[in-house]
Structure 1
Amino acid sequence: MILEESQNSNPREKNEWGAVTLRKPVPTSVAGSHDSFSYWVDEKSPVGPDQTPAIKRLARISLVKKLMKKWSVTQNLTFREQLEAGIRYFDLRVSSKPGDADQEIYFIHGLFGIKVSDGLMEIDSFLTQHPQEIVFLDFNHFYAMDEAHHKRLVLRIQEAFGNKLCSACSVESMTLQALWKKKCQVLIFYHCPFYKQYPFLWPGKKIPAPWANTTSVRKLILFLETTLSERAPRGSFHVSQAILTPRVKTIARGLVGGLKNTLVHRNLPAILDWVKTQKPGAMGVNIITSDFVDLVDFATTVIELNDLLQEDRALAKC
């Protein structure tokens, strides 16, 4: 979501918040990516602790890791490229790495990704260049992490963003005007009790993300509609995960093709058609995530839903 007016002629470089009153809360339609960091995973590293013992044994065969990569990667674009495309919500899963002497924290989705600190610095670089942009960083899965690992991760977050971090508060009290005045640009959601130790860590319950866990577009859309109708009208953001999840038999049938070619590419247009029918607001869509956000005009489609808010205000004045 490009918050500031841009001189760039690129249609994606638009003011996403143009339809939002500055003194109103921020329930706008936000484009997000699923497993946002997975554009690069390391075939040479150990299999992640998020995998079963059986997979870890199989992964001793080098070919298995190559096949795992085809199903672990859910994005083509780097953090910077996603930001430039209009993505503002990032789905993050992290882990310590066995044998890592520096005790760093890494992104993880079956295989290890880049260091979390490197990804955060890439995001911060963009935010520094775009001081009216706001991002949602959702740390929702933690693997092989004790208290020392959590402290290291939080330190990396502080080092990357400093005063850009937004302290947790009521969702309804958040306005663009207030965020810009405080120069706050980063909301960190932390799905672990450790969040209580830091004022800038938002509890995970403030950003629920129901998961359909299906390979069927029909079932996915029904699930998205149902969970939207059941979402809390106040007190939290809401993530609609517009993603399909492969079953074991799905992977077996499309082993070489991978997630993108087997499941995403042919179904994403239908999912995007559903997105186009949505409306943002208290009981409507808020944050919508997708795999491979570059395959269709996903971010722009989600962003343009905000125009409906402006139309409603215009009608209300009639």
Structure 2
Amino acid sequence: MNLKRGQQWCRNIKPEESLIIYESRLFKKWSFRKAFPTSLLNGIRIEFGKSGRISELYGINLVQDFDANDRFPKPSQWMTKLYQAYDTPLNQICIPGTHDSGSYDITTFSDEDPHMWESLKKLFDYYSESYFFTPFKELVRWWAVTQGLNTYQQLSAGVRYLDIRPRKINGQLVTVHGLAGASINNIIMGIKRFLNENPREIIIFHIHEPYGMIQADIDELFQVLYENFGASIAPPQMSPSNSIQQFQNSGYQIIVLSTLDSPVFSGWSTYETLSNLWHNKNRPYPLLESITNNLVYRKNNRLHITQMTMTESPGDLKQGAIPGQPSSLRSFVRTLRYPSGFLRYAANAARSHNKRVNIVTVDFPEDDYIYAACMRENIIDINN
């Protein structure tokens, strides 16, 4: 089918067909863009539309449709409602998560991360010239804030995995992403409030990239967690293969994942219990290919994180100074348009190899239907 500008065409794909997309731009010859195995397009609609980036036309979008007739549980209690009668392992359910969960509190006045990658700092210093002498911290803030909701709001919206990147800055435990974000105390208050209201939900607290943390800082962090959650922290004897019901019936509400050791208490070792690949892809379809390949070969006895986030390049920062182009991480992320469609495609690929999508981390989950997409996958598995 040859689609001309403004033209629409819609029909169901037959199982024996292949979907191969070519593109002709500005009267140039047709060039291959993308081939989709039709077996992985179940529940997906292909839509063509603009993305807002000038380096490449991102017109091929994978879309899931959601409407008011979809019967999903209340986001604040989905574990309680969905799994009260099903003994499903924690590592076999779809869990919404946030990437750099504490970045919502980053401001122009935030302290710099003393362990910011030197290459990243040089990059922002260099491209500040493209932004008409924008102050360094303001430029970093545009590209460092990955979340618009605070911890309590994230959890209330269905998130159950938190990506926590701790530092000790000016005597305070905080999270970072280039600049200092929410304090650990702020995050813990949000978690406590949520769990007091929803005591049978389970939260994964992943201490990630704790650069520069000396043992005294680590012990302080673990002490703060123990003082607030104590016996509610899942011990190492529990595992990702335990069911939600087993955590609930034992009174465990928090799983602490880390590479750290502390005499205060023992959390779960990420080396033994977690697979977490940073895809480092700047384009939507290389990202999707990396996600699906990683899922197909995941280890079923571990928690598995699918990082559904693109990585900005030096060119993206430079183009951000051009009117109409993504000028912040949030506008850059939106050029992927429909992460929920990518999730369905990846879930179809995983299921075809007897695997499941597990933890899905995104930036700004409120901008798409990631919660609904995860719940749809969970309901499909429950019904099967």
Which of 65, 78, 82 pairs up with 1:15? 78
Percent of aligned pairs with the same amino acid? 22
Which of 327, 347, 358 pairs up with 1:286? 358
1:18 shift after superposition: 4.8
SS of match in other structure, 2:277: coil
Asked if 1 retains the 8 angstrom alpha-carbon contact of 2:80 and 2:200, the reply is no
RMSD value, Cα: 2.6
Q: Deviations over 1:103-150 (max 9, x none)?
A: 221100000012112211211111011110101111111122111110
- What pairs with 1:191-230 in structure 2 (closer than 5 Å)? 191-192=259-260, 194=261, 197=263, 199-205=265-271, 206-230=273-297
Which of 330, 335, 349 pairs up with 1:266? 335
Q: Does 1:153 align with 2:217?
A: no
Q: Distance in 1 between matches of 2:75 and 2:199?
A: 17
- What pairs with 1:1-318 in structure 2 (closer than 5 Å)? 11-13=74-76, 15-16=78-79, 18-20=81-83, 21-26=85-90, 27-53=92-118, 55=121, 58=125, 63-97=135-169, 100=170, 103-171=171-239, 173-192=241-260, 194=261, 197=263, 199-205=265-271, 206-234=273-301, 236-255=302-321, 257-261=327-331, 263-269=332-338, 271-277=339-345, 278=347, 283-312=355-384
SS of match in other structure, 2:248: helix
Q: Which runs of 5+ in 2 are unaligned?
A: 1-71
1:200 shift after superposition: 3.9
What TM-score comes out, normalization by structure 1 length? 0.85
Query: Aligned in 2, Cα 1:10/1:175: closer, same or farther, shift over 3 Å?
Result: closer
Asked if 2 retains the 8 angstrom alpha-carbon contact of 1:34 and 1:91, the reply is yes
Q: Distance in 1 between matches of 2:361 and 2:188?
A: 19
Asked if 2 retains the 8 angstrom alpha-carbon contact of 1:41 and 1:73, the reply is yes
Partner of 1:316: none
Q: Distance in 2 between matches of 1:239 and 1:173?
A: 15
Greater C-alpha radius of gyration? 2
Deviates more, 1:220-229 or 1:10-19: 10-19
Q: Deviations over 1:182-233 (max 9, x none)?
A: 21100000123x26x4554111121221111011110010000111111112
Q: Distance in 2 between matches of 1:173 and 1:207?
A: 12
SS of match in other structure, 1:15: helix
1:12 shift after superposition: 3.6
SS of match in other structure, 1:144: coil
Q: Which runs of 5+ in 1 are unaligned?
A: 1-8, 313-318
User: Aligned pairs, how many?
Assistant: 295
Q: Distance in 1 between matches of 2:372 and 2:163?
A: 19
Partner of 1:3: none
1:247 shift after superposition: 1.1
1:244 shift after superposition: 0.3
One-letter amino acid of the counterpart of residue 36, structure 1: S
Partner of 2:22: none
1:90 shift after superposition: 0.7
Q: Distance in 2 between matches of 1:11 and 1:125?
A: 17
Asked if 1 retains the 8 angstrom alpha-carbon contact of 2:167 and 2:173, the reply is yes
Partner of 1:4: none
Q: Distance in 2 between matches of 1:299 and 1:198?
A: 34
Deviates more, 1:252-261 or 1:147-156: 252-261
Which structure carries more helix by proportion?
1
What TM-score comes out, normalization by structure 2 length? 0.71
One-letter amino acid of the counterpart of residue 43, structure 1: T
